[in-house]
Amino acid sequence: MRITTRITTTVAKVVACLTGIALVAATAACGIGGGAQPSKTPSSSSPTQPDSPISIVAAENTWGSVATQLAGDKATVTSIVTDTTTDMSTFAPNSDQKTQIADAQIVIMTGAGYDSWASDMTSQGQSVINAAATIGAGTGDNAYLWMSSDARKAVAKAIVDALTKLEPDSSDAFAANLDAWQDEEDKAEIAISDLRKSHDDLTYAATTPVAYYLMSEIDATDATPDEWTAAETKGTTPDATAIAKFTLALKDGTDLIITDSQRSNSAVDSVLQTAQQRNVPTVSLTEIMPSSQESLPNWIEDIVSSMDEALTQASASASASASASASDGASASASASATDAPSQSSN
What pLDDT was estimated at residue 234? 86
Q: Which of 158, 187, 216 is the last residue of a domain?
A: 187
Chain segment 35-82, per-residue pLDDT in tens = 333 333 333 333 345 579 999 999 999 999 999 999 999 999 999 999
Which H/E stretch holds residue 283?
strand 282-285
pLDDT of 282 > 50? The answer is: yes
128 φψ region: left (φ > 0), alpha (ψ -120 to 50), beta (else): beta
pLDDT of 133 > 80? The answer is: yes
**Cβ(115)–Cβ(88) below 8 Å:** yes
* Residue 324 belongs to some domain of the structure: no
* Residue 331 belongs to some domain of the structure: no
pLDDT of 261 > 70? The answer is: yes
How far apart are alpha carbons 230 and 243 in whole angstroms?
A: 12
* Residue 86 belongs to some domain of the structure: yes
Name the domain count of the chain. Answer: 2
Average pLDDT over residues 314-334: 67
Q: Which of 135, 170, 187 is the last residue of a domain?
A: 187
Do 212 and 117 belong together in one domain?
A: no
What pLDDT was estimated at residue 29? 39
Do 139 and 72 belong together in one domain?
A: yes
CA distance to 17, 20, 228, per residue, from 9 (Å): 12, 17, 111
Please state which of the ranges 102-106, 162-166, 271-275, 316-320 shows the lowest mean pLDDT: 316-320
Instruction: Quote the DSSP letter at residue 140.
Output: T
Q: Binning pLDDT at 50, 70 and 90, where does residue 330 land?
A: low
CATH number where 315 lies: 3.40.50.1980
* Residue 202 belongs to some domain of the structure: yes
What pLDDT was estimated at residue 341? 55
Q: Binning pLDDT at 50, 70 and 90, where does residue 32 land?
A: very low
**Summary mean pLDDT of the chain:** 85
Do 181 and 201 belong together in one domain?
A: no
Do 85 and 171 belong together in one domain?
A: yes
What percentage of the chain's residues is helix, strand, coil (to nearest 5)? Answer: 60, 10, 30
Do 83 and 181 belong together in one domain?
A: yes
Do 129 and 169 belong together in one domain?
A: yes
How far apart are alpha carbons 205 and 274 in whole angstroms?
A: 13
Do 202 and 118 belong together in one domain?
A: no
pLDDT of 278 > 60? The answer is: yes
Q: Which of 166, 187, 208 is the last residue of a domain?
A: 187
What pLDDT was estimated at residue 206? 98
Sign of CA dihedral 203, 208, 214, 217: positive
* Residue 17 belongs to some domain of the structure: no
Name residue 60's beta-bridge partners: 81
pLDDT of 178 > 80? The answer is: yes
- Coil, helix or strand at residue 131: helix
What pLDDT was estimated at residue 23? 34
Q: Cβ–Cβ contacts within 10 Å for residue 250, how many?
A: 18
Sheet strands side by side (includes 54-60): 75-81, 54-60, 106-109, 127-130
Please state which of the ranges 21-30, 249-258, 309-318 shows the lowest mean pLDDT: 21-30
What does pTM read for this prediction?
0.79
**169 against 317, higher pLDDT:** 169
- Coil, helix or strand at residue 257: strand
Do 59 and 171 belong together in one domain?
A: yes
Do 229 and 128 belong together in one domain?
A: no
* Residue 82 belongs to some domain of the structure: yes
How far apart are alpha carbons 60 and 118 in whole angstroms?
A: 10
* Residue 22 belongs to some domain of the structure: no
How far apart are alpha carbons 146 and 315 in whole angstroms?
A: 29
Do 204 and 269 belong together in one domain?
A: yes
- Structural domain of residue 218, as residue ranges? 193-319
**Cβ(163)–Cβ(53) below 8 Å:** no
* Residue 2 belongs to some domain of the structure: no
Orientation of helix 61-71 relative to helix 296-340, angle to 10°: 120
Backbone angles phi, psi at 141, to 5 degrees: -80, 165
Do 203 and 165 belong together in one domain?
A: no
Do 81 and 154 belong together in one domain?
A: yes
Length of the chain: 347
What pLDDT was estimated at residue 57? 99
